[in-house]
Structure formats: C-alpha cells, structure tokens
Structure 1
Amino acid sequence: MSDLPGVLMLDLQGLELTDEERQLLMQPHVGGVILFARNVRDVAQVQALVSDIRRCRPQILLAVDQEGGRVQRLREGFTRLPAMLRFGELWQQDQSAARALARDCGWLMAAEVLACGLDFSFAPVLDLHTGVSDVIGDRAFAADQEALITLATEFMQGMHEAGMATTGKHFPGHGSVSADSHHALPVDTRTVQSIREQDMQPFVRCMPVMDAVMPAHVIYEQADAACAGFSRYWLQTVLRQELGFDGVIFSDDLVMAAAAAAGNMEDRVKKALAAGCDMLLVCNDRSAALQALAVLETMDIEPNARLLRMQRKHHLTFDALIATPRWQQTRKQLAQLDPAT
C-alpha cells in the first residue's frame, strides 16, 4: 500500500466505525474521510473516532466543514463560530479590529480542529456576498472585494499559524447564481470577463495563502459547457496554467444534484480526474461511494504527493489549547461579535 493518500474522500455512518467501514478504509484508492454532524458527539468521542480511523489507515486525510455560522459540524465542547459575514459587518465599523479578529478566529477554528486529530477544515468561503445566492449567504465575508480579500487573507494566515492548510471555495465563485448546487444545476450566464473581474478576484489575490481549492458545481456557460469541477478550462487553463496554482484541487461532492450534469458516477469520476481534481468527494451515499471506488479500481492513477500538503502541521492538545490566553480572549471577542453563537 502506498504511503500517499488515495484520491477518494468518503463519509461515515455514525459515531463509531463499522466493520464494513474498517474494510473500506483499507482500500488503496480511499485517501480521505470527511466528518459530518452525525459523526460528532463531543471532543473525546471525535478524538477516539480519529484514532480508530488512523489505526486502519495512518496516512489518511481527515476533514470537516467547520466554517462557522450554519456550517459548523463540531459543536459540543467547541467554540461556536460566527458566520463570516459578521467580520464584514465589523469591517464597516472598524477595519483594524475586523482584520485582527478574523485572523484570531482562523487560528482558533484551526487549532480546535487540529487538537482533535483532524487535518483540516474546508475553509474559507471566498465567494462574494452578492445577495443572489441563499446557499452562500452569510457564509461569505463581504460584498466588497477589498474587504473580502483582506478578511479572508487574515483568516487563512490564522489557520496557518495553527498549523492547518487552507481551502478556498468555490472557484471561480458561487455567489452570483441563485440555484443551490446541492439540489439544482446553477448556470451563470455572465461574460467570462465579468466573472474574472468580480467573483474570481478573491481566489487570485488570496492565492499566496491558499493551499487548496474547491471548484463550484456551477456552469459558466460563456466559458465552458461543463461545471467548473469537470472543466479543463477552469482547472487547467485558468487555475494551473494562467494563475500558476500548484495546490490541491478537491472536487465538490460528486453526489450533489448539479454534478449529475456530468453523467453517471463513472462519468463524474473520470471527468473530474481528467479536468485536474486531485481528490474526489463522494458523500452521504455509500452506494455511490462504492461505485466510485469500483471505477477507480479500473484506472491507472499515479499517487498524488500534493495531497500530503493537507496533513496537519504543529498543533496543541485540546487541554493545552484551552489554557492559552489567545484561545480564551478570542472566544470572548467572538461571543461579543455575534451573541447568537
């Protein structure tokens, strides 16, 4: 078995591994696991689950969506994080305070995730807050490009300080389409120039601190007939060649409704890999994950060293973390920023 992670990231059924899942994690093409709320009870349980997973596959990548606001899987015993738009609102009152708190929040989020043994959170969202997309909504930092880029950069620098790799999503921008790609196929009809000058700029300018990217399941019809995650134009011509991005490219979940535009699961796997995705997410549908695995077993796939960049770096234990003045002070400041958390 290679020391490098495989290309498939899948999910688990509950709070503990099943015997079937232990066997599944041993498959060479399985390289990652993403935790959802159903897999989380508290800090100790997550740590035990992580240890069990790593006994099956030491080099596996372990991820979670811990953005803040309504997208936060780790809750009991963890800091309740505000939606990122709260930083954009603070920016309008005090730019210096917004920058500092965004950085501290990025550090705190990453430090808590790492302390559980997980490698990274799929964060942050770099989509513009346009008011068009409900599924993005307050997950975005701001409507203003400069505010978004500044705050997201600070947040990602905080993540790096904690030892976590960053993932910008959803390239080249999901904020300007109304349809939710989980349930429908969004189509952006604007010119390529408009997309490049508006939605894509946060990805371009945050690239120095961006270790990975997740493309949108959105069709930008003036550029390509395929969703960005299946598009060689967006992932190869623009991202790799024009922008020189050498980080990891994660597919968004291949089970999402918008991904069906690429065909059946075999088509989705092959098209995502051909477009340039380094790791494929297949979640919340075990049958689909097994189909994807069966397809991968028929393919000759080179081990991908890029994925090693996503492994967690230095980190504190949870007990050591909560004793730090930075953690204690940041929690207080975040609670003041958004009392609802």
Structure 2
Amino acid sequence: MKKLIPTLLVLLLVALSCDKKQPTNISLENTPRTKWVDSIYNKMTLKEKIGQLFMIATYSNKGKKHTDSIQRLINENGIGGLVFFQGGPVRQARQTNVYQATSKVPLLIAMDAEWGLNMRLDSTVRFPYNMTLGAIKDTDLVRKVGEKIGEHCNRLGVHINFAPVVDINTNSKNPIIGVRSFAEDKYQVTEKALAFTNGMQSKNVLACAKHFPGHGDTDKDSHKTLPTVTLSKERIDSVEMYPYKELFKNKMAGVMVAHLNVPSLEKDGVPSSLSHHIVTDILKERLGFEGLIFTDALNMKGAANYKETGAIDLAAFMAGNDILVLTEDVPKAVSKITEAYNNKEITEERLAHSVKKILASKFDVDLNNFKPIDTLNLISDLNDETNDVLNEAVFINAITALKNNNVLPFREVANKKIAFVGLGDGNSAPFLNALQSHLKVDDFSDLKQPELLRKLKSYEKVIVSYHRLNSRLTSKISDEDRLKIEEIAKNNKVVLDVFASQYSLENLDFENIEAAIVSYENSEIAQKVSAEIILGNKDAKGKLSASLNDEFIAGSGIKILK
C-alpha cells in the first residue's frame, strides 16, 4: 500500500497537468515528428529560432536583384517561410528550388490562392469565387474545388494556402471581402468552408481560415486603414466566430488574424492582430485553437499605421501569433524580438511554443524529406481538361434564376426576332456566340439611346446582358446602364443576364423585367452555361448566397428546367 500511494500521486499530478494547455501541436510522445522537430530546434541559434517566425514576400516576375535579396534574407536571418505573389508557375518552381537549397531549414511556402493559383500566376486556372460556390446546393462540388486547388498547390511546392475566407459578408458595401465570402449566412459559410478545407487538406496542403475575428461586416479596407467592427461581443461570438468553432473540430491547420478595431473585444483600440486578448485569450484559450496562427500582412495600413516597423512585429508575437507575415523590415524586427528575449520579456518557453509548431507543420507537409520541384510538364499538369469540367459543373449548379414570367427557356422562337444588348466593360462575345449558334439574334450593343429604343420596337424579346471586366467588384451598375435596362424593359420583354456579383443589381428596378438571371462571373464558361440555360439545354438551380435587395434575399432562386 505504501508503494501504491506515490504511484497514485504521480498519476494525479499527470492528470492535473493535462488540464493545462500544452504547446500547440507538439506531442510529448517520442514520435518521428517530435524527434525531427527537436533535432532541428536544438541545433538552432537564437537568431535562427526567431527567423523561423517570419514569412516574407517574394515574386517570380522580378529579376536577379530581387532573388538575390531574398537569398540574403534567408542566409542572414534564417527566415522560416516565403509567400509567393505575382509571376508564373515554372519561374516560381525554379525560384522555390533555389531558395530551399539556400535555406538551412526547409522553408514553408505559402500563397494567397483563394480561387486557385491564377489569383497570382499566369498560365494557371482560375476557379469560381467563394460567393459563386455559395450558390451551389451540392457541397461536394465545393470539396472538389478545394481538392483541385490543393492538387495544384502541391504540384507547385506550395505548402499552405491562405484560404478559405470564412468571413460572413453581411455588409453589401464591404470593399475588401464581398465575393471572397461564401455567403451572408453563418451556416452556409461554415458548410462550404468545411468542404473546401477538407478537399484542400486531403492533398496535404494546409488550409488557413481568415480573417479572424471577422471581416464581413466592415465598410473599409484594412489594406488602407484600420476598419472598425461595431458589433457586440455576443454577436461576434454567435455569428462571426461560428465557422471557426466548427472548423477547429475538423483539423483546420491555420488561422489568419485580421487588422481590425473591435471595441467590444479590445477596449484599448489595439488592432486585433496585435491584441493579446483576441489572439491568446479568445482564439487560443477560449476557442482552443492549437494550429498555426498567422498575422495578416504586417505591411497593410491597418497594422503598419499603429506602430513603427519592428515594434509591430514584436507586438504581434507578444499577442500570441506564431507567424509574422510580410514584415516591412526583417532585420529590424529580428533585432526587436531578440532584445525582448534578452530582457526576459519573451521566455524560451514562449519562443519554443511557436517555433516548434512551425517546425511540426513543416514535418506534416513532408519538408523533413524535401525534394526539389520537378518543372517537367508542370504547365500541362496544372492545365489538364479536368479543370474545365469542374468549372463547368460549378456554374451549372450555381447560376441563379431570380425571375421568369414564362419567357424562359426559349421555345419555338426560330421565326421570331430576338435582339441582344450587351452592357458593361467586360467581353460578351462567348455569350452572344453561344446564343447565335442556335437562334437568330441581332446585336445592338453599340447603339445609343434613343436610336437603340427605336430599333428595338420591332423586336418582341430582348436579351440584355451586363458584363463586368472585374467580377470581384461589388459596386452597383452605373446609373446609365441601370436606366437603359429599365427603359428597354418598359417597351420589350427583357431577359436580363448579369455576369457580375448580385450586389451590382442593388439599385435596379425589376418590375418590368420578364426574366432575370445572375451568372456571377464573366468567365467564358459562365457565359456558355448561362446561354444554355436560356436556350433550354440546361437547368438553372442556384440560390443566392447573399441578398441583393429586399425582394431577392439570400436563398432566392427559382428553377428553370431544360
């Protein structure tokens, strides 16, 4: 019995210690992962450990001077990772190989590829925006998009994609999120984000949910200023944080913290990315997130205007972030953090907590056995026919019919005169060509009023399409285009098809419009699929993921059967 008491005491102490938060993702077991992490960490100098905290921007469309400067930063500061921006896939792969060969510890490579590598790189495929994916009922399609983007990232040697955006876009005037959000409803956002994440992480590419604690209800751009979120902490907890709570149950690898002023969560006006209460007390402790925590880019004005360079990085690390993204001055930031460490403001335990998490993530994406990226057939591997098949499937399921007074689909119109008017600054040729391959359609896009209205008098049906060159824009259509659509609709049976965000129609009067379709994006595939719906060769099955006015709210959408 005397031998049993000490044993029970030890077990009790172990049980009590388990209630405390263990360092994120660091197992106490002697696994290959832990062995590798410890073997790297134990050989590092203090400067090399601190260097692991930084991810810096690099470009494959810049010259030797840029490449040399990145190599210098890697050599002199032991940088932990890189974020690639504009360029091309072959150039990026070659540069990645050079940088990996330069680095003593394998580099974690990241990209902002929310809708695929094409967000940054030429010669690659663009997939639909999140808000288009939000219009789809078949969530498995969203998983397949995440899977395909993950496949492309993996092929290019990209280990973490700063996606998905899980902001709930409840503000139609949001200048920075908009179509990057899946929806205005927390359940829809969560369902789609889970599917996207599962797809991408199945290809061994780490996902990173953003922008914590929630950038959806803002009317300013944190790249330019510090937006204020005026919501109560109860509302933020129940709505904005809902997707994070669900994603954390499903092995979300990373979270990116936004630069926001959130008075209900941080009373001192500190940007959320630099707030210990938001990053540590809420994200890490209350929500229990144990993955990698990234700052949003520290060169954005939302953070950069708050403190001087270096001091921002120190504040971000002290707040609880693991990876400091796009600092403006690495040597100065390293110096500031080193000074704080030497002054015992930062403990060895705190530094090890983040650095070992970073190293563990590198092990998870097989950087313990790094192999140079093979550039042979890289372009063809990233551009096979399965991309178009998936894109087409998305638009077949997403394109949303809002209104139809028995004019769609077109039937028995071979002998009837149909007019076409294309508006906006985007290309309408694929849409018009697809219509003209089946119908006799006369194009009056170049005519100005009142001549246009005179010409249209002899036409029973008019297809008016609005094409936005940049489908990410959520601003309203111009007053000139709005008045033109409304005037034509007073005198003709108008079918309106919009190849832009639904938000662009917020100021339009739909009363005299016979049929209205939202096709979301001005891609060639979207135009061809939408033409097929009008012609009766495909069904319309999408539902609005966000409201455009009081009449057409989120969830609106009628079926048009082929």
User: TM-score under structure 1 normalisation?
Assistant: 0.87
Aligned to 1:240: 284
Aligned to 2:523: 340
Aligned to 2:165: 125
8 Å CA contact 1:9–1:281 kept in 2: the answer is: yes
Moved over 4 A (4+): 314-324
1:52-201 maps to which residues of 2 (within 5 A)? 52-57=98-103, 58-68=105-115, 72-76=119-123, 78-90=124-136, 95-96=137-138, 99-130=139-170, 131-201=172-242
Aligned to 2:52: 6
Does 207-216 or 4-13 show the bigger shift? 4-13
Q: Alpha-carbon deviation of 1:28? A: 3.9
Residue identity opposite 1:340 in structure 2: S
Return the index of the structure with the highest Cα Rg. 2
1:33 aligns with 2:82: yes
1:45 aligns with 2:97: no
Residue identity opposite 1:178 in structure 2: D
Partners in 2 of 1:116 and 1:194 — Cα distance?
40
Partner SS for 1:198? helix
Partners in 1 of 2:52 and 2:90 — Cα distance?
27
Partners in 1 of 2:255 and 2:284 — Cα distance?
11
Identity %: 24
1:263-322 per-residue CA deviation (whole Å, 9 max, x = no partner) reads 112321111111101010125x5xx34432332343436341111344363799785996
Contiguous gaps of at least 5 residues in structure 1: none
Residue identity opposite 1:32 in structure 2: G
Q: Alpha-carbon deviation of 1:21? A: 2.3
How many residues get paired? 327
Aligned to 2:247: 206
Partner SS for 1:9? strand
Contiguous gaps of at least 5 residues in structure 2: 1-42, 342-347, 396-520, 525-562
Does 232-241 or 47-56 show the bigger shift? 232-241
Partner SS for 1:291? helix
Task: Return the match for 1:216 from 258, 261, 265.
Answer: 258
Residue identity opposite 1:228 in structure 2: S
Q: Alpha-carbon deviation of 1:71? A: 8.0
Partners in 1 of 2:148 and 2:523 — Cα distance?
18
1:201-253 per-residue CA deviation (whole Å, 9 max, x = no partner) reads 11111112311101110011122021111111111111111111111111111
Q: Alpha-carbon deviation of 1:138? A: 0.3
Partners in 1 of 2:365 and 2:281 — Cα distance?
31
8 Å CA contact 1:26–1:56 kept in 2: the answer is: yes
8 Å CA contact 2:162–2:208 kept in 1: the answer is: yes
Aligned CA distance change for structure 1 residues 7 and 247 (closer, same or farther; 3 Å)? same
Aligned CA distance change for structure 1 residues 193 and 292 (closer, same or farther; 3 Å)? same
Greater RCO (CA < 8 Å, at least 6 residues apart): 1
Aligned to 2:310: 266
Partner SS for 1:272? helix
Q: Alpha-carbon deviation of 1:126? A: 0.6
Residue identity opposite 1:307 in structure 2: I
Partners in 2 of 1:50 and 1:229 — Cα distance?
28
Partners in 1 of 2:177 and 2:275 — Cα distance?
22
Aligned CA distance change for structure 1 residues 70 and 196 (closer, same or farther; 3 Å)? farther
1:18 aligns with 2:31: no
Partner SS for 2:184? coil
1:69-95 per-residue CA deviation (whole Å, 9 max, x = no partner) reads 89811331x2212111111122xxxx2
8 Å CA contact 1:31–1:61 kept in 2: the answer is: yes
Residue identity opposite 1:135 in structure 2: I
Aligned CA distance change for structure 1 residues 15 and 248 (closer, same or farther; 3 Å)? farther
Does 159-168 or 5-14 show the bigger shift? 5-14
Partner SS for 2:165? coil
Aligned CA distance change for structure 1 residues 234 and 29 (closer, same or farther; 3 Å)? farther
Aligned to 1:252: 296
